Every structure is written in C-alpha cells, then in structure tokens.
C-alpha cells in the first residue's frame, strides 16, 4: 500500500497538509524506501489543501496520515473520489512510529476524516 504523510520541517512530525515542509511517500511493506517531496502548496495563496491532495492523487497514494484541520470538505471529497483512505493521528505523532507500527495502524484506516477534524 502506498502511504503518504505530511511532515514538519524536522522531517519526522506529522502535521497538516498546509503546514508541512514535505510530503513523505512510502510502500507500507518497505518504509525504508521512502521518497520525500517538497510540499506542493508552498507559495500558493489559495486552494492549498487541494494542491496537496491533487499531488497525492497524481502520485497514486492509497492512504494518507492526517491530523485535525488538515483536510477541508473539498480536499476530502477529491481524495475520496480517488479512493484514498485516511489514517487519523494526533498532532505531534512521529512518522517513524507510524511506519514501524504500520500493522497496528492499518486497521484504523477510514474512508473519511473524523467528524470535527475538517478545516472550515
């Protein structure tokens, strides 16, 4: 499964789509082969969440790690149309922890962002 996570400037802390310095993508069975991409929303003044979501669709991501306020209704719908699943985690969660404990996290994948977590 191809998984993505928006991470902060420390390269390890999962953050919102718009606050991320980079987007990390890896295959769940080979986290050591991760790829890091600059956040495509950097420099955008509008539709920043959608810019990242469209990037995830182009990269054929199957699941995205998400924290509260990461997705808005439009970006969630775009991800859902592409059949991207959401893994909700608390702010401050370590990317390495999610990667190393993937078998624990995988059953928590959802078809939508938790209620109250969408950016308005």
Handedness of CA 83, 118, 86, 109 (dihedral sign): negative
Which pLDDT score, from 0 to 100, does residue 106 have? 97
For residue 82, what pLDDT is reported?
Answer: 98
What pLDDT does residue 90 have?
96
Q: What is the pLDDT of residue 11?
A: 97
100, 30 Cβ separation under 8 angstroms: no
**Cα(41)–Cα(36) distance, integer angstroms:** 15
Reported as type and span, the H/E element at residue 27 is: strand 22-27
Q: What's residue 101's pLDDT?
A: 96
pLDDT (tens digit, 0 to 9) for every residue of the chain, 120 residues total? 999 999 999 999 999 999 999 999 999 999 999 999 999 999 899 999 999 999 999 999 999 999 999 999 999 999 999 999 999 999 999 999 999 999 999 999 999 999 899 999
Domains of the chain (ranges, CATH numbers): 2-108 (3.30.420.130)
Q: Starting at the edge strand that comes first in sequence, how are the strands of the sheet with 2-7 ordered?
A: 30-38, 22-27, 2-7, 63-66, 85-88
């Amino acid at each position: 499964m191809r998984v993505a996570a928006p991470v902060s400037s420390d390269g390890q802390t999962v953050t919102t789509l718009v606050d991320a310095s980079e987007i990390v993508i890896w295959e769940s069975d080979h986290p050591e082969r991760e790829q890091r991409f600059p956040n495509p929303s950097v420099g955008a003044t509008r539709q920043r969440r959608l810019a990242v979501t469209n990037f995830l669709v182009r990269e054929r991501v199957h699941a995205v790690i998400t924290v509260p306020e990461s997705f808005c209704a439009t970006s969630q719908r775009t991800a859902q149309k592409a059949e991207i699943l959401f893994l909700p985690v608390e702010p401050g969660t370590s990317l390495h922890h999610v990667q190393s404990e993937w078998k624990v996290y995988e059953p928590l994948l959802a078809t939508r962002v938790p209620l109250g977590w969408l950016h308005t």
